[in-house]
Amino acid sequence: MKELLAAKGGKPSIPDGTVKPWPPIDDEDRRMVLSSLEGTNHAFGPNCAAFQEEFAAWNGNRYALTTNSGTAALHMALVAAECGCGDEVIVPAYSWSSSATCVMQHNAIPVFVDIDFDTMNIDPNKIEAAITPKTKAIIAVHLHGLPADMEAVMAIAAKHGLKVIEDACQAHGAKLNGRKVGTLGHCAAFSFNQNKCLSAGEGGMFVTDDEDMYQRAQALWSFGEQTAPTGRRDYHVYAMGWMYRNSDLCAAWGRAQLRKLDGYLAAQRENAACLTSELAGVPGLILPTVPDGYHHNWYNYTLRFDMEALGHAQDAPSFRDKIVSALRAEGLETGIWQAFILPAMTVFQAKDGYGHGCPWNCPHSQPVDYSVEDFPVAARHLATHTGMTTPLRAPNGTEVAKLVAGAIRKVMSDLDQLS
């Protein structure tokens, strides 16, 4: 006999309190944060300088600047890549909002390219059609922790003389053919926001191996000055600047978490592999793809529902929402990661960032088209996905992954109860 779903009054598959919260905090975190607190430099201090060095060494970059968010690091990357007024920057049509709004922050114009359904990353086959004489850079997002097809992206960029910015905000430790993200393009941004694989509450890191890019990013980062805040400053503004530096307390916590990051990533990989094997063959599910040579960090384990097979092609989003509600009733923390594809967001449809239509009506820019029907793959992904993070993160182990699989199998085996 089939079990009654929790949404219909049955017993939840995952009892309350089973899933441990993210990130795990231990005495090392407490010691590092308290020692920063008890120090005398709470702005950009010794922990910030050390965090930059340690993260650069961990990731294999020459230069790193710690920021107060991943979005700040992305804006710095735009400036490092010399993108400015009226320049166009190619961005995948499905990502976090600031993968695109960072472009506008320097008066440049985002141009969207559809994603590949299997990898959920930018479709390299569609990039060249979006390149114009105004294109300056491509932002390759490693969505949910799977590297974008950087070999194809870098080849296109070399052919057209473009810079490649990696949005690695979700992808700490992900690799392509043995090389870590953040070392594959010309520069990259990482996030240390609460939900990320390396969490320091908030924060980010700009990384590059290129000295000129580093200098330009550094100027934007600290008021348009040319000297690092630990050096002898002349307090002179040489270029347009923001204040994107990190605080010593966040950097202290980031350093403590960095020491444990490889262990966390190994646990995530094991949990994701366990879930994939437990869900193999469940009708109506499309499991995540990991092409050969790709090393996923499993920041977000994203499932898609095969709405054609389930007979719900016409009402995919609402039927997906019913499945997600039923999974949540089973005690599974899962949900829609982004509710809109990027070009459908109001700021792009209205083409108004700074008022008066700026930057789209800037005399240096040319018209761009944000018709949402040009991104059918991103729209299909949007309508059929659900994702999860915490249940597959340390300290949760494969025993939790098995409960997660049980919840999903239970709901998928009796979707009639949702009708």
Nearer to ligand PLP, 70 or 359 (CB): 70
Q: How many CA atoms lie within 13 A of 82 on its CB side?
A: 8
Under the binding rule (CB under 6 A), the answer on residue 71 touching ligand PLP is yes
Under the binding rule (CB under 6 A), the answer on residue 268 touching ligand PLP is no
Helix (H) or strand (E) holding 346: helix 346-350
Q: Which amino acid is at 132?
A: T
Cβ-closest position to ligand PLP: 70
CA proximity to 285, closest of 385, 416, 379, 398: 385
Q: How far is the CB of 408 from ligand PLP (least distance, A)?
A: 24
Binder to ligand PLP among 141, 148, 165, 316 (CB under 6 A)?
Answer: 141
Q: Alpha helix (H) ranges present in 303-345?
A: 316-329
Gyration radius of the chain over CA positions: 22
Q: How far is the CB of 143 from ligand PLP (least distance, A)?
A: 6
Nearer to ligand PLP, 264 or 319 (CB): 264
CA 148/CA 387 separation, integer angstroms: 18
Q: How far is the CB of 247 from ligand PLP (least distance, A)?
A: 14
Under the binding rule (CB under 6 A), the answer on residue 246 touching ligand PLP is no
By CB under 6 A, the residues from 10 to 69 that bind ligand PLP are 69
Judge whether 387 and 144 are in contact, CB under 8 Å: yes
As given in the structure block, the two tokens for residue 363 are: 């005399």
Helix (H) or strand (E) holding 415: none
Under the binding rule (CB under 6 A), the answer on residue 99 touching ligand PLP is yes
Contact stretch for ligand PLP (CB under 6 A) within 45-53, 83-91, 92-100, 129-137 = 92-100
Binder to ligand PLP among 96, 242, 360, 375 (CB under 6 A)?
Answer: 96
Judge whether 166 and 142 are in contact, CB under 8 Å: yes
As given in the structure block, the two tokens for residue 386 are: 């659900």
Contact stretch for ligand PLP (CB under 6 A) within 3-11, 167-175, 266-274, 302-310 = 167-175
Under the binding rule (CB under 6 A), the answer on residue 389 touching ligand PLP is no
Q: How far is the CB of 171 from ligand PLP (least distance, A)?
A: 8
Under the binding rule (CB under 6 A), the answer on residue 167 touching ligand PLP is yes
Q: Which amino acid is at 169?
A: C
**Strand ranges, E, within 199-271:** 204-208
Judge whether 220 and 85 are in contact, CB under 8 Å: no
CA 168/CA 205 separation, integer angstroms: 10
Judge whether 85 and 207 are in contact, CB under 8 Å: no
Under the binding rule (CB under 6 A), the answer on residue 169 touching ligand PLP is yes
Kindly tell me the burial class for residue 170, based on how many C-beta atoms sit within 10 Å of its own C-beta (0-12, 13-18, 19 or more): buried
- Mark whether 196 is an active-site residue: yes
Under the binding rule (CB under 6 A), the answer on residue 257 touching ligand PLP is no
CA 255/CA 110 separation, integer angstroms: 34
Under the binding rule (CB under 6 A), the answer on residue 386 touching ligand PLP is no
Binder to ligand PLP among 36, 47, 95, 222 (CB under 6 A)?
Answer: 95
Q: How far is the CB of 172 from ligand PLP (least distance, A)?
A: 12
Catalytic residue among 126, 136, 163, 196: 196
Would you tell me which residues interact with ligand PLP (CB under 6 A)?
Answer: 69-71, 95-96, 98-99, 141, 167, 169-170, 191, 193, 204
The residues annotated as belonging to the active site are: 196
